[in-house]
Structures are given as C-alpha cells and as structure tokens.
C-alpha cells in the first residue's frame, strides 16, 4: 500500500522543479561561461540589459521582488557576471556589475510602466530562463527571444478573455449562494465593466478611476433588478451580484505579491504594492458608494445585509465546483496557456473545498479558514504547477481568487453608509485580515513546496568561482 501511495504522490508532484526552485548555487545544467573581461563594456551591458528585461516581465506579472532579484542574478551569472548587485523596487529594476576597485561599475535600469496580467508572457519568460540555464544560448539570441515575448499579442481574443471574466463573476455569485439570476446578472455587469474599463485604459485613464467605474457598474444592474423584483415576480439578493463584481475587480490587484514581498525581506516594495492595493480598493468602494447614493435618490434602497453565512450540506458540491470554475475562468481571463487552465481549476477546487470543509465542519472563523485554504493552494497547487511546468504564481493567484473578500468589503461599505459605522469598519477590518491571511498562506505553502522539490543534482563549481569565494573568505 505504501508503494502505491508513493507512486501516486510522485505522479502528482512530478520530477521537475519550477524555474525559481532551481535558482541555486551550482544548479546550472551547462557550464557557466568564462567571466566577461571587465574592460569589455559592450558585452557586460548586453548581459545586464537582458537580465533587466527579463526581470521587468517577472515584476510586471506580480512575481515577488526577492524571486525577481534571484532570477536576474542567475541570468547574469550564467553569462559570466558573478559580481552583480540587483535592486528591485515597486516599478524600478537597477542592476550593477562591479569591475574591481579601479574601474567604475556598469549599471542598467529598467522601469515597469505597464501592469497587465498575462500569464502566457510569464510562462514564456519562465521557459526562456530554463533555456538559458540548460542550453546556454547567446545573449543576442536571448535578446531576440525576450523582445518577441514582450511584443507578442495576447494568445486569445479580447472577446474570449471578456467572456472568461463574466464566467468568473457568475461562478463567484454561485459560490456566495446565488441562483441562476444572480449568475446571469453577475455575468452581464462584469462584461460591461471589463469592456468599459478597457476603453478607458486605451485613452490613458488612471487605474483608480477605472476601479471607481467598475464599482459603480457592479451595483447598478443588481439594484435596478431588485427595485423591480416585485413587478417582475422574482427574488434576488443584490449583495451577491455586487460582491461578485467586487471580487473580479480585486482579482487584478497584486495581493499575493505585496504580502510576499513584506514577508520575504523586501518591505519597501511590499509597502508600495500594498498601498496601491488599498488605493485601488478605495476606488472600488468609492464607485459602490456613489452608486448606492445615486440609487437612493431615485427611490431604490437595497436590503439590509445580514451577518449569517450558514449554508446547507447539500450546497457544498455546488459551491466547491463554482470556486473551481472561477479559478479556471480567471486564469483564462489572464491569458494563461492551455496547460495551465486545468492546474488553475484544481487550485480553485482545492481552495474552495478546504474553505467550505473547514467552515462547515470545524466552525472556525473566516480568517483561519481562508488562511488554511491558501496554504493548501500554495502547497498542493505549487506541486501541480511543477508537474505541468507552469509558474507556481499562476496557480497561487488563480486558486485564491474565488476566496477574495468581496462580500465583506460590500458589507463594510454598506454599514458605513447606513449609520452602522462600528459594524461597517469591523467588516472592512475582516476583509483586510482575510486578504492578508490568503497571501500569507499562499507564501507559506509555496515555501514548503519549494523545499520539497529542491534540485538533487549539484554539478561541481567552476574553478574561477571557487577561487573568488576562497579569496573572499580570506
């Protein structure tokens, strides 16, 4: 029995490591190049520029600053630049190569202006780093490849991505306990939100105002249908539709990266990302608040939200399946490769299943339940990602997306606007705690998964590196 269990686990986890797992001293599969002559400014600049371009794509995709820094140093080390200093901040990468005590260092800098979730771009760069590690392609070839990755169009049409965001919102509505009408309204409002925000982005509208518009659109359809529910002969909980729209807007923010940076030793970048997260969340809250006040002027008052979140055991399969569908749809909306979609689906299945099971059978709080679920997503999802050779970040972000506290954010805002200040701020604090628990749990799970898949083969160090380390010790 032990042999069968071990074989099943090996099939699940695979024998491969994620690229970031193999960024270890001595893990280069081919012999590293000889050190570049310190007087060869052109060669040094070419390697540094390549490393900063790769780092910019990683940072743009939400990779933690420490992991980005490690991979930049690794790429530079493969091409013979061992004495390199890397500084990664919120939107800037500075790489400096030292050339001894008598020559000035050579420094390159790259700024990350774009913030777009394209998991295919992240996977292609991950594959490029593997190619650099395993085959030692020339810097000029690597430059052409990374330029092609950056300038390549999205793998899917906008219509497919927009529909995926709508499906995600529908699944979130079902996860929150909604029925078919909630799913349809969530789909429609999200499709409108994505379409409008994409047009606003093309004309250069700041992201904050895009979030305001998204929060406004998330409220109006549900409120209008609720205001005419008696005439139409239907029943609907508008809070479920609004919360689904809020989750879609929150999913594009770098929650995991911000907390991971703060935990892993990059507090400045973590604080910057977290402040951006709070600011964008404030935009959502402002949009929702404007919509609520505007609807009250027209005579539409949304119902009071109860604090009860209990559900029957018969609803567990539907909720777990909805969470899995939401995770897979999120990965598709972020242009993930086809091989990553089943892994993202399984990540969402694991996260939603753990939350529902822990909440229903153990009756613990939302913070603990979501933290445990995120840790399971980071661990098991990370191992699944290594099996499919996709970046673990894809599985981590997609797996916790259905668990984002959209309903808690809406409850807090509703309480603040309806003279329930204490209860409102309590829900806002709960949403913040759940978000931090999700990010911290994913970070812990990924750390455990990474230690489980350490590379076992370590080739001998090159002679020049041994001499350098020996002189440094002396």
What is the share, in percent, of the chain residues with pLDDT greater than 70?
Answer: 82
- Dump pLDDT digits (tens) for 249-284: 887 666 677 777 777 777 777 788 888 888 888 888
Mean pLDDT computed over 157-169: 90
Q: Which of 26-30, 188-192, 236-240, 373-377 has the lowest mean pLDDT?
A: 26-30
Per-residue pLDDT tens for 24-74?
Answer: 444 444 445 667 777 888 888 899 999 999 988 888 877 778 888 888 988
- The whole-number pLDDT of residue 213 equals 92
Residue 87 forms beta bridges with which residues? 94
Task: Give the per-residue SS3 of the chain.
Answer: CHHHHHHHHHHHHCCCCCHHHHCCCCCCCCCCCCCCCCCCHHHHHHHHHHHHHHHHHHHHCCCCHHHHHHHHHHHHHHCCCCCEEEEECCCEEEEEECCCCCCCCEEEEEECCCCCCCHHHHHHHHHHHHHHHHHCCCHHHHHHHHHHHHHCCCCCCHHHHHHHHHHHHHHHHHHCCCCHHHHHHHHHHHHHHHHHHHHHHHCCCCHHHHHHHHHHHHHHHHHHHHHCHHHHCCCCCHHHHHHHHHHHHHHCCCHHHHHHHHHCCCHHHHHHHHHHHHHHHHHHHHHHHHHHHHHHHCCCCCCCCCCCCCCCHHHHHHHHHHHHHHHHHHHHHCCCCCCHHHHHHHHHHHHHHHHHHHHHHHCCCHHHHHHHHHHHHHHHHHHHHHHHCCCHHHHHHHHHHHHCCHHHHHHHHHHHHCCCHHHHHHHHHHHHHHHHHHHHHHHHHHHHHHHHCCCCCCCCCCHHHHHHHHHHHC
- The reported pLDDT for the residue numbered 453 is 53
- pLDDT score of 458 more than 70: no
CA distance 54 to 81: 16
pLDDT score recorded for residue 39: 81
User: Do 402 and 247 meet the contact criterion of CB atoms below 8 Å apart?
Assistant: yes
The pLDDT of residue 203 is above 60: yes
Q: How confident is the model at residue 460 (pLDDT cuts 50, 70, 90)?
A: very low
Distance of alpha carbon 106 from alpha carbon 98, whole angstroms: 7
pLDDT band with cut points at 50, 70 and 90 for residue 15: very low
Computed from CA positions of residues 85, 88, 89, 92, in that sequence, does the dihedral angle turn out positive or negative? Answer: positive
Residues 108-128, mean pLDDT to the nearest whole number: 80
Q: Is the pLDDT of residue 455 over 50?
A: no
Q: CA dihedral in degrees (113, 115, 120, 121; nearest 10)?
A: 10
pLDDT of residue 208: 87
| 105-114, 178-187, 388-397: the lowest-pLDDT one | 388-397
Asked whether residue 196 carries a pLDDT value surpassing 80, the answer given is yes
Does residue 338 carry a pLDDT above 80?
yes
Answer with the residue of higher pLDDT: 474 or 450: 450
Beta strands 84-88 and 106-111: pairing type?
A: unpaired
User: How many angstroms separate the CA atoms of 248 and 189, rounded?
Assistant: 11
pLDDT of residue 24: 47
pLDDT, residue 474, reads 59
Band of the pLDDT at 316, cuts 50, 70, 90?
Answer: confident
Is the per-residue pLDDT at 13 higher than 70?
A: no
pLDDT digits (tens, 9 = 90+) for 343-382: 888 888 888 888 888 877 777 778 888 888 888 888 877 7
Query: What was the pLDDT predicted at 302?
Result: 77
């Amino acid at each position: 029995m032990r042999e069968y269990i071990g074989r099943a686990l090996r099939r699940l986890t695979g024998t491969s490591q994620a690229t970031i797992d193999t960024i270890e001293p001595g893990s280069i599969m081919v012999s590293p190049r000889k050190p570049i002559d310190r007087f060869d400014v052109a060669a040094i600049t070419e390697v540094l520029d390549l490393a900063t371009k790769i780092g910019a794509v990683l940072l743009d995709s939400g990779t933690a600053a420490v992991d980005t820094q490690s991979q930049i140093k690794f790429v530079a080390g493969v091409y013979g630049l061992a004495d390199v200093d890397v500084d990664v901040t919120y939107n800037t990468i500075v790489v400096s190569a030292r050339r001894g005590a008598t020559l000035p260092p050579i420094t390159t800098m790259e700024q990350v202006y774009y913030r777009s979730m394209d998991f295919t771009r992240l996977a292609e760069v991950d594959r490029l780093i593997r190619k650099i590690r395993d085959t030692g392609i020339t810097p000029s070839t690597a430059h052409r490849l990374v330029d092609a990755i950056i300038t390549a169009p999205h793998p899917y049409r906008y219509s497919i991505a927009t529909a995926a965001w709508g499906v995600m919102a529908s699944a979130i509505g079902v996860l929150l306990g909604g029925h078919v009408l909630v799913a349809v309204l969530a789909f429609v409002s999200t499709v409108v939100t994505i379409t409008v925000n994409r047009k606003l982005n093309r004309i250069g509208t700041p992201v904050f105002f895009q979030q305001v518009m998204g929060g406004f659109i998330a409220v109006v359809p549900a409120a209008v249908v609720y205001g005419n529910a008696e005439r139409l002969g239907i029943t609907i909980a508008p809070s479920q539709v609004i919360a689904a729209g809020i989750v879609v807007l929150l999913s594009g923010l770098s929650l995991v990266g911000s907390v991971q940076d703060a935990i892993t030793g990059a507090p400045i970048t973590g604080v910057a990302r977290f402040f951006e997260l709070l600011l964008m969340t404030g935009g959502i809250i402002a949009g929702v608040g404007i919509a609520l006040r505007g609807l009250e002027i027209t005579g539409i008052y949304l119902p009071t939200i109860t604090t009860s979140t209990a559900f029957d055991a018969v609803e567990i399969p539907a909720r777990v399946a909805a969470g899995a569908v939401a995770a897979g749809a999120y990965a598709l909306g972020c242009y993930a490769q086809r091989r990553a979609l089943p892994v993202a689906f399984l990540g969402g299945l694991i996260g939603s299943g753990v939350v529902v099971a822990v909440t229903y059978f153990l009756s613990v709080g939302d913070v603990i339940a979501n933290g445990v679920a995120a840790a399971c997503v980071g661990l098991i999802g990370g191992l699944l990602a290594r099996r499919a050779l996709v970046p673990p970040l894809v599985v981590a972000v997609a797996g916790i997306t259905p668990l984002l506290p959209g309903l808690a954010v809406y409850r807090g805002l509703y309480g603040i606007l309806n003279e329930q200040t204490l209860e409102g701020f309590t829900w806002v604090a709960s949403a913040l705690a759940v978000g931090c628990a999700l990010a911290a749990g994913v970070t812990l799970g990924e750390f455990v998964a990474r230690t489980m898949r350490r590379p076992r083969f370590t080739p001998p160090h090159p002679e020049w590196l041994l001499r350098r380390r020996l002189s440094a010790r002396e």
